Structure 1
């Protein structure tokens, strides 16, 4: 449905988006995820028609919307957009804000559409209120209804939940996802919050330094990071040194020889680092190795422990909070890593150079 083909955007001589490619299928809900300044909002603006390209193409339903020297106007793209600050017209009522994109329809059709959209976003009964009379969550719903009113092919959301408190943000993002799935409207969300991206998206693109590092389903981004940048950004975890074992799917570490779920392409004896997530580390009543608690972060149902191993290496473990260990206390641990991701140390050194 949407094809983004090797797009490049720059401000003056600075390249801020560098040869980024991905596609969005009908009904897919996707996210562009990454730290501030990585280029995700620029990509959204390029898709919307507010940012010209210096290379590549944006194609929607087989129609080229953008390429160097060509820029179809935002109003001609049939793409809806919800901004971070909602951008509601303060002098217009809720009803008139939603009707703004329906000016080509007659009054009866407009009223019918507004009624249907207010029901969809659960705001029946406030059609005559003004934006300043609404809560942040209500304003966000009105902005969504206004963007959905013209039945866009694609909806773009630029950090629309960032001004809301944590609980409302979680609830509203799931409600918006349900609405989009019900209407089968494709969407792209820009966010720096990976938990929000995981809960909201079918596909996620992780950006760093203007480059797309990986475009994948949330499960693969967490368990199958394509490079060290993705592994560092997504979730918690630590890297533990090891060497490739005599079998192609084994890595020898201070936990012993660990068996991966893949054959590694390096020869035996190659120095590597393996990614261990907090849920890969488990308590061991028998055997295992002794680790010392050096940090702990309580989060209610679980506690995230940072543990020092005998060699000085560190790992993280997410344990039920009723197992309360003190700083400097020792525990016996082992690994249960179903997805054993390894990076060669030579590649890591080249990546950091």
Structure 2
């Protein structure tokens, strides 16, 4: 695959306030990535610099091997061939849907423009609604039109700034998968900004986790979940608990629920106090299992139930049970550990046993 976008050690500022710093990543043609992080972490600022709305203070941004942003140089947004889909749709209320989609095609011959508009409306399953106005549509339909308008000029890349945040959960989920299908069908790269990790994991080939203006990890959703590089990523991505233990032989950790072995070796000395990350899928219900715990809370989600469980020491863990295995608060259950990924961090008193 060829590299489409290269972000190289950029820093962004508003006046003298540093918003992002030392950000580097690349995106291949046809890949979809997500910038994920809490509010105020710098993800929208980063998206705006890629779009060309904001300058960069240091570093460089390249598209197809050509520099589009540097401290002393910036290609204007309209010359970057980058489409943008906003959170509030930004449709023109006085124009029909077809006219909205055609807005960026004014230099195209009439017949070709009409054909392109029809193609785009058909692509987002709205081919029979081109005569309507935005106020006649639902939020999900308006967002489809906004996507069609952004795709109509055939951009090299599309940027989506929390485009589904105004929609309800089921529609957000459905539309996210639909947008992924459309971008993949057109082989157009996309960058999504969101604070919703479920949305990020469903849509993206790669996810960049940001915190306080720095890129914490750029990786596949699988690796972010199973191989977080620091405590922040471990806390922010997925559910789970840290339980205290002691490093043994560099490749396993002794904890109150037994020795946990995994897929990596750690360089610390034997006996180093550690915290082991345990996800709900690392702890399995087993009626003959060696670990006893008490049900504190549970959340039913249809095919599975997430149980919050207290160990004899008072330490809390979580486990995902098949929904047919029903228990009540106060019940005792038996467990075993099936952790293929050994994720450890040096323990501090304040962090030991923390949940997220």
User: What TM-score bracket applies, with the shorter chain setting the length?
Assistant: over 0.9
Segments of 4+ moved more than 3 angstroms: 346-349
Give the length in aligned residue pairs: 349
Q: Distance in 2 between matches of 1:58 and 1:23?
A: 10
Q: 1:347 to 1:2 in 2, by over 3 A?
A: farther
Q: Mapping of 1:258-337 within 5 angstroms? A: 258-337=260-339
- Asked whether the equivalents of residues 7 and 23 of structure 2 are also in contact (C-alpha less than 8 Å), the reply is yes
Deviations 1:35-61 (A, max 9, x none): 111111110000001111111111111
Give the structure 1 partner of residue 181 of structure 2. Answer: 178
Asked if residue 48 in structure 1 is aligned to residue 51 in structure 2, the reply is yes
Choose which of 137, 142, 149 in structure 2 pairs with 1:139. 142
Q: Distance in 1 between matches of 2:328 and 2:127?
A: 52
- The CA RMSD over aligned residues, in Å, is 1.6
The 3-state SS of whatever aligns with 1:96 is: helix
- Asked whether the equivalents of residues 6 and 57 of structure 1 are also in contact (C-alpha less than 8 Å), the reply is yes
Structure 2 portions without partners, runs of 5+: none
Give the structure 1 partner of residue 253 of structure 2. Answer: 251
Q: CA deviation at 1:285?
A: 2.4
Q: Distance in 1 between matches of 2:65 and 2:252?
A: 46
Q: CA deviation at 1:287?
A: 4.3
Q: Mapping of 1:85-164 within 5 angstroms? A: 85-164=88-167
- Asked whether the equivalents of residues 249 and 260 of structure 1 are also in contact (C-alpha less than 8 Å), the reply is yes
Q: CA deviation at 1:189?
A: 0.4
Q: CA deviation at 1:348?
A: 8.6
**TM-score w.r.t. structure 2 length?**
0.95
- Asked whether the equivalents of residues 252 and 342 of structure 2 are also in contact (C-alpha less than 8 Å), the reply is no
- Asked whether the equivalents of residues 251 and 260 of structure 1 are also in contact (C-alpha less than 8 Å), the reply is no
Q: CA deviation at 1:262?
A: 1.4
Choose which of 25, 31, 34 in structure 1 pairs with 2:34. 31
Q: CA deviation at 1:224?
A: 0.4
Deviates more, 1:281-290 or 1:335-344: 281-290
**TM-score w.r.t. structure 1 length?**
0.96
Asked if residue 188 in structure 1 is aligned to residue 177 in structure 2, the reply is no
Q: CA deviation at 1:295?
A: 2.0
Q: Distance in 1 between matches of 2:287 and 2:304?
A: 20
Deviates more, 1:196-205 or 1:124-133: 124-133
Q: 1:239 to 1:94 in 2, by over 3 A?
A: same
- Asked whether the equivalents of residues 228 and 348 of structure 1 are also in contact (C-alpha less than 8 Å), the reply is no
Q: CA deviation at 1:346?
A: 5.5
Deviations 1:223-260 (A, max 9, x none): 00010000000110000111111x33111111222211
The 3-state SS of whatever aligns with 2:59 is: strand
- Asked whether the equivalents of residues 21 and 213 of structure 2 are also in contact (C-alpha less than 8 Å), the reply is yes
The 3-state SS of whatever aligns with 2:121 is: helix
Q: CA deviation at 1:207?
A: 0.7
Deviations 1:250-276 (A, max 9, x none): 111112222111122112111111100
Q: Distance in 2 between matches of 1:32 and 1:347?
A: 31
The 3-state SS of whatever aligns with 2:167 is: coil
Structure 1 portions without partners, runs of 5+: none
